Amino acid sequence: MDPSPQLMLITCGNTRAVDAWQSNTQFPPEKAFLDQQGIFYSGLKTHYGIFNTIFSPRMWILGFWKRLWYGQIGTLMKSFAGYQLTVPEKKQQSWQQGGTFIFKGLDLQWSHYDQTPGDYPDFAQVVSETKRVVDSLRQ
């Protein structure tokens, strides 16, 4: 098995926004997948529902304080500068939360389930967990 990590994006986003997103991020198109059927999300049992998104107190209260604590308010405001609202073709996917997942083959090795929009894991932890999985492949 090839021990080199591969970064992939799986989203249930709007198909009309994919080209612009890939152009802005330079993310390789062959590593980005649209899950319009929700197979990935339901298989991993990610959080779903209006009360896990727009009406979640965690999003508006805890999310704000977390960003303030880590000095991310400026970054958040900058991200809105070029933001254009897009809605998934399947409207119910607007309430779908994602996460960050590390697999070893088909086996889930580590996960962070987003509680609300913007609830991303600590990047250093993701790197550390990725290294751990890659090291286990080399043994």
Number of domains in the chain: 1
Give the residue from 14, 83, 99, 84 showing the smallest Cα distance to 48: 99
Range of the domain at 24: 9-54+84-138
Determine, yes or no, domain membership for 30: yes
Determine, yes or no, domain membership for 73: no
Could you give the percent of the chain with pLDDT greater than 70?
Answer: 71
Per-residue pLDDT band for 73 (boundaries 50, 70, 90) equals low
- By the 10 Å C-beta count (0-12 exposed, 13-18 middle, 19+ buried), 138 is classed as exposed
Per-residue pLDDT at 110: 93
Determine, yes or no, domain membership for 40: yes
Per-residue pLDDT at 111: 92
Determine, yes or no, domain membership for 110: yes
Determine, yes or no, domain membership for 98: yes
pTM greater than 0.85 (yes/no): no
Determine, yes or no, domain membership for 59: no
Determine, yes or no, domain membership for 78: no
Task: Give the separation between CA 56 and CA 46, rounded to whole angstroms.
Answer: 15
Per-residue pLDDT band for 104 (boundaries 50, 70, 90) equals confident
CA–CA distances in Å: residue 9 to residues 50, 59, 79, 91, 129: 23, 23, 19, 20, 18
At 120 the three-state DSSP class reads: coil
Determine, yes or no, domain membership for 72: no
